[in-house]
A and B are shown apart, each in its own frame.
Chain A
C-alpha cells in the first residue's frame, strides 16, 4: 500500500499566474481533501472530493478549484494567484468522507507567490 504523494514539493509563482498542484491518493481511497496551511497556522479546509464530485467546501473563493480522477489522483488549481496564497498545500485521502474516516496526509507542496 503506497502512501499519499504530492507534486511538486516546492513551487514559485508570480502574482496573477495560475498553478496546478497534484496529489496521488492511497489506492482504493475515494475521498480526497485539500488544505492550505499558512505559516504558524493550522491547515484550513479548502474542499473535499468524493467519487469525482465536490463534497464539501471551506471559505475559499471560486478561483480555488479541483478535480478528482478515477485513478485516485487529484488536482488543486488556483487562478489569479495572490501573495496571500503563499502557503503549504496538503492533500489527504480517505476511504469515505466523514470525520470517523482516518485521513492520510501527503507531505505537501510549498507554494511561494512573489
Chain B
C-alpha cells in the first residue's frame, strides 16, 4: 500500500532549465509534506516543506506546489544546477489511527542536471 508515489524514477534536465518533480498521495489525512534531497553515501537532507493549509511555498530556487483536490504536489527547481543532481524524496506526515505521528516517503526520483 504505497500511500506516497513518485512515478518518475529518473529525470534529466539541462542546466539552467526548470526541473519539475512530481508526487501523488492517497491519504487525505496527511497534514504536512516535505521534500528531501539525498546524495550517495549520505542521509537525506531536508529541502522544503508545505503545510496542507497552503498551496505554495517558495525558498530561493525551490518552490513546492500542493494541489489538495488532486492529492498532488510538485517541486520546481529554477534554474537547475549540476549540484542539484541527486535523488529527491517526497514525504508526507500525518496522524495514524492511534493518534501518533506517521511519516511516509515516496520511492524517490533521481534528478540529473546536465551541464
Question: Which residues of A come within 8 Å of B, CB atoms?
Answer: 4, 33, 35, 40-45, 48, 55-58, 90, 92, 97-100, 102-108
Contact = CB atoms under 8 A, between A and B. Distances in A.
Interface string B28-50: 00011110100001111110010
Contact of A42 (B33, B51, B108): B108
Contacts of A35: 103, 105
Given A56-B101, A92-B43, 9 more contacts: A43-B44, A56-B102, A56-B103, A57-B96, A57-B100, A99-B31, A99-B94, A102-B49, A105-B43
B89 interface: yes
Contact of A90 (B43, B93, B104): B43
Nearest to A106: B43
Contact of B107 (A40, A58, A97): A40
A98 B43 contact: no
> Across chains A and B, which 8 residue pairs bring their CB atoms closest together, nearest first?
A99-B32, A105-B43, A99-B93, A42-B105, A56-B100, A56-B101, A45-B103, A43-B105
Contact of B44 (A40, A56, A90, A100): A90
A104 B107 contact: no
B43 A108 contact: yes
Contact of A33 (B31, B46, B51, B103): B103
Given A33-B103, A42-B105, A42-B106, A56 B96 contact: yes
